[in-house]
Structure 1
């Protein structure tokens, strides 16, 4: 009877591993098949690439003397700096202003995790949700991309999951192993089980009562604030003018002649620029952008 139980247990384990592996590779095939085969244009090499980062005074002086910009970005968080880098890399004249400091808001208060989405994978499996699965695959791809392009700011992070009920141990372990298989080429390191004794050695403050063991798996972690500042500096080296502690105080409006739905010309109000106040030097700056 005991041998029969072991045989069935091994058979079920092999069946689960084979199914998880097949699901992972089949999902990768479907995801690649459904992606748009659009040809990506060659990356524009900016005409300006500064060897040294310009000082803030130089940046403010350039903003004061520049007649018009292609893009004016308000906000020096992750999104604003990312837009500035993208635009500057395409040869556009860019200005970016931030009221406080770069990454002083939400962009420096994240969980610091670059996760592929274990919870999303659980929904994808339990609810047979294809979109959730695609979300996990996309997140895993971006995690690998970030670890590759910024190894000085991101790294694999071991995460320990304590388990307090014996019947949940194989359940969690199966889910984490499925996460490993779905990661495919983006796998950081294989997950593994550790004993109760080892878990308490690593984390002595864990609740010991009813602790069964723990599971360790890997996701990514990065320094969000430094990544944000790196984006700002990259934009500046590509020719963008950036300034922190420079608050937008007013929008500059202008008129433009357009045709309405009936084809008749009419005048509409548009935003042509912004007025800023440099909080460090107590001076006003006007930034205008070309809408042609």
Structure 2
């Protein structure tokens, strides 16, 4: 009893200290966000209606005499850098050698989170850097939920507790998570009795060891569509954006003052046609994720690697493995990893693993990783639920571009922070980080680029800047799609949550019968709400992303 009281007193004292220390900073952040939202009204939108076709974007890349910024890499960070740059009134280009979000950015856990386990490590090890990383991520979590409400939403996540002493310990940690979030806390965490926990998560193991559960909130998002929304937003504000455009080598010239060779652009190749062309730029930003070191070696063959790639495997299993709107966190797996168990698109996602890997364009999940996840899932679910290998409907592996730490023994202990480096020739590299902090990473990268290259730029404007499809979206938008276009409710809900306010464009196409797209209103597969008009949508409205 005395031990429990001591834990509770410690939690209260720590929480009070956090609340007092960061109350003022939260108010400053709130006011700063409001200032950025007001600044959005001053931004020019060169393409308020139709976006340029991919052919037009390629022409802009070829014909523009010189860009201020050329971003290489179309994942979350690269697209974020392009959006940040173009909204600072910098002439911006972005090239991606495959589809946008075809790599790591579409292979995440689908969470927008501050990192509960990082906060635990920060407290246990008195690690201020990790603490500030969590604080920054919680700020970015709130911003991302605000600027893309159609693609993201808060998600309750249950933390089962199997020992009485763990209840105050985990409660104190989760409450600290709420306190660090401050005014940006999504919803307050709460404790559940064993009976209530089983009521909300009936698949949970019903043994005598379960003493209760704690529920906290993080965000969940459609990572691939979110990445695409960022890239589309950059294009709408005037960036020249093209996919299937790879960098062959970097261009350099001699600085007349120093005699030093400096990066001044890139030789690019249209992957579809094979044609090559030069893109000149005052500054080149390397945002290629796991391939960071490959581009750095184009700049300097002797450079040392700064990324230590780590494979994160997820599996998809049937929806009956979890409730419709409640996730599960396993905080201490058999080998110390954290496993999430989350509802997603009427299915269930389980993952992730964290192990060293080689960099490849198409990473394949290993059978050992799949079985590891299944074993952990089996440990938490009722024996009534037979966890079978045959229930794995899909699996993916994403390569995290972790920043190398020479003192770490494995990738699990590497901090998920990021670094911005500038080579002797001026190549700006952003490496590390995670999905949630893509925007702040982009802001820091552009701040460094502007300073290093003497660019004439306005302050960052991406806090509170609504992404593609967010303006005009409302939770009831799907009802209008049903009433105005006669769509099935499931199809309407899918379109609203995927395209936001742009869903009306898809719905209009679904009613049109043309020679090229004769049955665009039909479902592609009867069991899923995807319709044929969605194939036409990228060609007509997201034309900068596909060769239309």
- Cα drift, residue 49 of structure 1: 2.4
Call closer, same or farther: CA 1:188–1:132 in 2, change over 3 Å: same
State how far apart, in whole Å, the 2-side matches of 1:197 and 1:33 are. 39
Which residue number corresponds to residue 255 of structure 1?
A: 254
Call closer, same or farther: CA 1:14–1:168 in 2, change over 3 Å: closer
Residue 228 (str. 1) matches residue 227 (str. 2): yes
CA contact (8 A) 2:15 2:176 kept: yes
Call closer, same or farther: CA 1:158–1:25 in 2, change over 3 Å: same
Residue 170 (str. 1) matches residue 168 (str. 2): yes
Call closer, same or farther: CA 1:247–1:217 in 2, change over 3 Å: same
State how far apart, in whole Å, the 1-side matches of 2:128 and 2:27 are. 14
SS for the counterpart of 1:258 is: coil
Call closer, same or farther: CA 1:189–1:65 in 2, change over 3 Å: same
- Cα drift, residue 160 of structure 1: 0.6
Residue 24 (str. 1) matches residue 22 (str. 2): no
Instruction: Find the partner of 1:138 among 131, 136, 139.
Output: 136
The normalised TM-score by structure 2 is: 0.45
Gap runs ≥5 in structure 1: 260-266
CA contact (8 A) 1:121 1:132 kept: yes
Residue 50 (str. 1) matches residue 47 (str. 2): yes
Counterpart mapping for 1:1-292 below 5 A = 15=9, 18-29=12-23, 31=25, 45-51=42-48, 52-209=50-207, 210-259=209-258, 267-290=259-282
State how far apart, in whole Å, the 1-side matches of 2:98 and 2:172 are. 47
State how far apart, in whole Å, the 1-side matches of 2:181 and 2:263 are. 46
Call closer, same or farther: CA 1:87–1:129 in 2, change over 3 Å: closer
Call closer, same or farther: CA 1:27–1:139 in 2, change over 3 Å: farther
Which residue number corresponds to residue 264 of structure 1?
A: none
* Number of residue-to-residue matches in the alignment: 277
CA contact (8 A) 2:95 2:243 kept: yes
CA contact (8 A) 1:161 1:214 kept: yes
SS for the counterpart of 1:120 is: helix
State how far apart, in whole Å, the 1-side matches of 2:210 and 2:8 are. 27
Call closer, same or farther: CA 1:117–1:273 in 2, change over 3 Å: closer
RMSD of aligned alpha carbons: 3.4
Gap runs ≥5 in structure 2: 284-452, 454-548
- Cα drift, residue 280 of structure 1: 2.4
